[in-house]
Structure 1
Amino acid sequence: MEELIFRKVLIDRTIVYGDKAAVVLSGLLFGVFHGNFHQFFYAFGLGCIFAYVYIRTGKLKYTISLHMAVNMLGGFLSSLLLQQLNYSAWDTSDPYAYIDMMFNHAGAVLGLVILEISMIIMGIAGLIFFAVSAKKLEWRSGEYERPFHEMGGAMFGNPGMMLFLLSGVCLFVLDML
């Protein structure tokens, strides 16, 4: 549903303001939708990447596949490995019991370490790929593209957008409490 809303519906309606505006708006709203600062920044970045992929290919199946891969690695697989750890048993002052726990959960701990190292490597590789490819990105103008200082009013100056952003800010505040 997120890809349908934030890529298909949103981009198809905002592409008239140009590719850059559609990509940034899609990424921004995708980040706000996640409702907390922990996810906002990476969701914004991924939302921009997914938006660019959708604009260039016109295929929602690519962004859905990318989104599923991110959720599988960062959500499902890490949660599955974390469930293997019995946190209450780790709360001990006995160093021998602690070492025993490490060996009892060695598979889950090793899996988490491998997953995290892999994600860091993929993130660095992605940043390098982006830096090398940034000059090759193609940005098309839109039919109603405006100067940068006028875009805010065009995109955020309506009641629906204001309500969405206000809801997002409220979620951020509630998450911090």
Structure 2
Amino acid sequence: MNISHDFEADKKLVSRDPAGFFAEMLGELSQVLQEAVGHDDAEGFTTIIAARMGNRISAEYSASQGADGLSVEALAAAMVHLKSKLEGGFSIVSVDDEKIVLRNSACPFGKHVVGRPSLCAMTSNVFGRMAADSNGYAAVDLEKAIARGDAECLVTVHLQPQNISQHMREYISRDDTDV
């Protein structure tokens, strides 16, 4: 039996590439977790994954520079570089010895992040681990988030101890690479 159909010519079909498929899958997984266990616990699961990935990513960027950590400027550039490789739209707003401020116009999870703010734990944890491993301390403030319905993300990575607000999470340097 020889059955064929030219699906490529069918313009009504939604196309999926591997990255889009995995972003959609993670978005759905996040939604199911949020509905099953609530936002806080779903964010907790995402935090564990992100912390593990953040440790490895931080070590890779530091090793690429042949150092135990990155300067503040190199750290900001590494954050933007990482997110650009993941098809995010991050750019540097400002950098100084106290904080790094980043703006994001396109989430790596695409449209699948909207309504799933627990996925923001990926950004917070990866950036927090990178900054804490280079600086000893970080507090990540997700002031705006596409996942929460904002038009863009505004992320401040504080490099000095802070009073923690609602959208902030603290990170301290550690020697191990596994959570």
**Smaller-chain TM-score range?**
under 0.3
Larger CA Rg, structure 1 vs 2: 1
Provide the TM-score with structure 2 as the length reference. Answer: 0.25
Task: Pick the structure with more helix per residue.
Answer: 1
| Structure showing greater relative contact order (alpha-carbon pairs closer than 8 Å, 6 or more residues apart) | 1
Provide the TM-score with structure 1 as the length reference. Answer: 0.25
